[in-house]
Homo-oligomer: A and B are copies of this chain.
Amino acid sequence: MEDGYHHGALREALVGAALELLREEQPLSLRAVARRAGVSHAAPYHHFADRRALVGAVAREGLRGLRSAVLAGAEGEEDPGRQLLAAGVGYVRFALENRPLFRLMFSAELANREDLPELREAHRELRSALLEMAGRRLGPDTEADEVGFWVLRGWSSVHGLANLILDNQVPGVTTVEEAERLTRRMLLAGERAMAR
């Protein structure tokens, strides 16, 4: 279990190495990941069926992180409306602070997830968190359909804004702080329109 021939927790180490490479904006090849983990390039095959499975595991980790970021943002607030606002800000912050990972999570490569049940589960958990928060905001008598639609509206806004910023489509917004301020402003405008 110590160091030496048998690694002990290579699976986790590989995912960690992949996250490291992403942070450095390096391409996520199976060989590069193995290299970074300090292991031969054939070793990953004892833990992942193929490159795709590894990428899926990395994306899953990313989704969990995104969910945490969203929930962490909301935790500091009492009022459900403010919770949602903070959640949106947390979402955008995560995207900005984990650009390549965020892109990977929503990449064409993983648009079809039928073969990656664990990744699907992570997506479901993120979605549940959003639905739960929106449910608190809209009240217990709100129909599920309406809550779903409401989540989709908010999610689209925030997801779109995050993507536009990542893609340098929002002139003058590059830092995390600027992005957070803009997100808050945007969500506040939406809330205000709703409340009126």
A interface with B by C-beta (< 8 Å): 99-100, 103, 106, 108, 110-113, 123, 127, 149, 152-153, 155-164, 166-170, 182, 185-186, 189-190, 193-194, 196
Give complex CA distance A155, B196 in Å.
Answer: 22
How many copies of this chain does the complex contain? 2
Which chain B residue has the least Cβ–Cβ distance from A152? B170
* Known contacts A106-B167, A156-B157, then 8 further A-B pairs from the complex at CB < 8 Å, ordered by chain A residue: A99-B108, A100-B108, A108-B166, A111-B166, A153-B190, A156-B158, A160-B161, A193-B194
A161 surroundings in chain B (CB, below 8 A): 152, 156, 160
Asked if B103 and A167 make an inter-chain contact with CB atoms under 8 angstroms apart, the answer reads no
Return A124 CB to nearest CB of chain B, in Å.
10
